[in-house]
Structure 1
Amino acid sequence: MVEAVLQLSMGLPLLVELLALARPRTVEDVDADGNLADMAIERFVQWITGPEKRDAVRAGALALQLNEDVFTAAAGPGLVT
């Protein structure tokens, strides 16, 4: 169970907490509905004002490794500053 939570969360503390709070009983229960990652992203962006900035953060959350080229491809050239 711990291995499944750590693998799915990629070690991100907020995701680890959300997955643990779900109290899964089996490995298959770990984020079975696929919503916990979405919930974590929404918690990260809830304080960001401005829809363009929120969209930029969400787009940057897609890649495991992020550099300016990947971010520009995901978010679009208008959001890179």
Structure 2
Amino acid sequence: MRPNPQQKELLLSAPLSQLLNNEVKLSRPQTVKKIWAYVREHGLQDQKDKRWIICDDGLRAVFKQDKVHMFTMNKILNQNLYAPDE
């Protein structure tokens, strides 16, 4: 059976690592799960439209904007995750 490429561990950018308690390597699903846990823990979902995330300083360092849509979040994450051999 071939390994699932989604489960491959990737290196995190410095801002993303800092946001996620200095994690260095995570798979994409683990990263998304931890970001959502952070968003919920800090109450950062827009109350009128929960698809939007209001960025605090930590999220702003990763996403480079004040508010990010949940579907755009995954696209922006590509800029913060690197294959270990890059």
Q: TM-score, normalised by structure 1?
A: 0.35
- 1 or 2, which has the higher helix percentage? 1
Larger RCO: 1 or 2 (CA < 8 Å, sep 6+): 2
Q: Larger C-alpha radius of gyration, 1 or 2?
A: 1
Q: TM-score, normalised by structure 2?
A: 0.34
